[in-house]
A and B are shown apart, each in its own frame.
Chain A
Amino acid sequence: MEIQVEDLTKSFGSTVVLDHIELKIREGEFLGLLGPSGSGKTTLLRVLAGLDWPEQGRVLFDGEDILDVPLEQRPVGLVFQHYALFPHMRVFDNVAFGLEVLPRRRRPPKQEIADRVDRLLELVQLEGLADRFPGQLSGGQRQRVALARTLAIEPQLLLLDEPFGALDAKVRIELRRWLRELHDSMGITTVFVTHDQEEALDLADRVAVMNEGHIEQIGTPSQIYEKPKTSFIYDFLGEANKFDCEVEDGVARVGNKALPVGRKMRDGPAVAYVRPHDVVLRRTDDRSRSDDAVLPGEATVRFVSSLGPKAWVELSYEGQLVEAEITREDLAELELSRGKHCRLQLRLPHIFPKQRS
């Protein structure tokens, strides 16, 4: 099913939680809504589900406005953040619930319900646990019961609220892959909400980054990561070093490089954002040519920690903290330790206008 959200606006009291949202979700797409808490992503999900109503705007399912359609008539399934399984029902009854509560004339016969529940439990790899209570399951198992329970009503739009939020790291990654495969085999249009950028970028076909009730950018994970439109997105997606610079005539001067920034940005103070793994460290006597922006002067190493294949170096440059992630080999070659000096080069700096705070 294709979903179109137009001019959606909602506020709780004086707080605007959805601020003229425009969003198009394609048929069969796996879309991630990414944002910090309070950015409105869960509210948007609840509006799609029918648990919340906007003050303004339209939501179209395959071209049909569904805001006036009561939630039990919407072809939508929602998996809640903490699963909201019914604790007094066995796994079987939890999954069968959506079928058991159908009006008699639309309810499948008992045997058919049982068969469908069995098939769903097989699908989520929980065969043999039908007689357990939710309290006797692990977090990952509960999540899969919640998913099976929602799939039982055969939704055309599947909504997942922080689907991996309550799981520990290892289970989270396993379930992530599994869920992606499940989606690819079933092809249900799916929207999931998360505050974990890695999860969103890893899992989704497209990611919509939300901030303060509006969508800052929507695009494929690589578009979002490589070409973030705003400094908020850049900051939100990972660690960032910030270097002050100046923009003049559409060109930002960073170190020894002049970087074109396009006509849109006005002249004035700007900030160059650089990821720690894009900070390159050089010996002070290394004068070899480079395509990277070389910063004048030297930085002083303040802290080195080496874990696994990567090393984390904290430096002080012109009174500011710079974090760099380099390989172990580079660390050994540079012979860096506390108090030593080195030069900084910046790979792929992103220039954003300076925020007035």
Chain B
Amino acid sequence: MAVEAIGKRMSAAPPVSAPVRLPLTEPEAVRWVLTGAALAFLLFFLVLPFVVVFTEALAKGVGVYVAAITEPDALAAIELTLLTAAVAVPLNLVFGVAAAWAITKFEFHGKSLLITLIDLPFSVSPVISGMVFILLFGLQGWFGPWLAAHGIRIVFAVPGIILATLFVTLPFVARELIPLMQQQGTIQEEAARMLRASGWKTFLRVTLPSIKWGLLYGVVLCTGRAIGEFGAVSVISGHISGLTNTMPLHVEVLYNDYDFAAAFAVASLLTLLALVTLIIRTTLEWRAGIGNWTAEP
């Protein structure tokens, strides 16, 4: 996409008559080679795999495809994945907004520590994140015996999967909002306070509208990751088909069973979800760009 945009700019650059050469334009050959290389790279690493997923998924016909995604285990996996996202995303939305609000609009001790902590899930391997929860809540873990005594199951069960997903997707909303809100500063909030708006009304009417596109963008990224998360969930779920398998895990199970058509069928659903995410993302970026003209320079 980026390549396309650059290409457009290049062809649109010379004005109507005289072939003016812009100071930053390269000779034609260089342009072709560079653009070609970028396109080839895109084709090989993005378009081709994408095509493969769908051809493989439909290789044995539509019947097999439909059967693969409607069999009980697959449906259970889809359901679990959506449930996980439905719980994890709203929680992270609230956390992300609260954290970004606190970090950007107030001064307090331990602020940099909080920022570092928010980034932690980005820097830790997801597998380790999953293991941490096993160490905490597993039978041999810190809270394991107490939980077992009270009949609460976290590890190898849905709560564990949600916890692991929450952990992994924690930074997305906050990370998206912090730079945005930092750039906006606190002047709008001060103006609202001077007009005697309460803190809550200031947030609802002034802060939230000015971050809505960034917020939606963060939510979309967070959702994408919540649906696709493999490592952390894989460690903590226990791979119980029909019970604790999310879609990515289900794909792995099918693949390991040499059931390629079914594996790719479920994988194609994930790919579609990713595509939808991408489309929403692009639309949001476009809308946010449009929205800018109402903003003060």
Same assembly: yes
Binding site for B on A (CB under 8 A): 49, 51, 71-72, 76-78, 80, 82-89, 97-98, 100-102, 133-136, 142, 149-150, 152-153
**Residue with the greatest number of chain B CB neighbours at <10 A, chosen from A51, A88, A149, A150:** A88
Q: A82-B187, A87-B296, A135-B296 are in contact. Are A150 and B195 (CB under 8 A)?
A: yes
Q: Is the CB of B195 within 8 A of A97?
A: yes
Nearest chain A CB to B24 CB, angstrom units = 30
> A71 CA to B196 CA in the complex, in Å?
7
Smallest CB separation, A117 vs chain B (Å)? 13
Contact of A135 among B187, B201, B209, B293 (CB under 8 A): B293
Q: How many A-B residue pairs have C-beta atoms within 8 angstroms? Tell me.
A: 76
* Listed A/B pairs (10) with beta-carbon separation below 8 Å: A71-B193, A72-B196, A80-B191, A82-B296, A85-B296, A86-B206, A87-B294, A97-B205, A101-B197, A101-B198
Interface residues of B (CB under 8 A from A): 187-188, 190-198, 201, 205-206, 209-210, 291, 293-297
Q: Cβ of A102: which chain B residues have Cβ within 8 Å of it?
A: 196
A80-B187, A82-B187, A84-B187 known; A97 vs B296 contact (CB < 8 Å): no
Most buried by A among B195, B205, B206, B210: B195
Bound: A80/B187 CA distance, A = 8
Residues of A within 8 A of B291 (CB): 88
Q: How far is the CA of A88 from the CA of B188 in the complex (A)?
A: 11
Interface contact A134-B196, CB-CB below 8 Å: no
CA distance A186 to B235 in the complex (A): 71
* Chain A, residue nearest B206 (CB): A86
Chain A contacts of B187 at CB under 8 A?
Answer: 80, 82, 84
Known contacts A49-B194, A78-B194, A101-B196, A87 near B205 by CB under 8 Å: no
Q: Which residues from B are CB-within-8-Å of A49?
A: 194
**Chain A nearest CB, measured from B66 CB (Å):** 46
A149 — which chain B residues lie within 8 A by C-beta? Answer: 195
Q: Once bound together, how far apart are the Cα atoms of A87 and B293, in whole Å?
A: 9
Query: Quick one: closest A residue to B190, CB to CB?
Result: A51
Chain A residues within 8 Å of B195, by CB:
97-98, 101, 149-150, 152-153
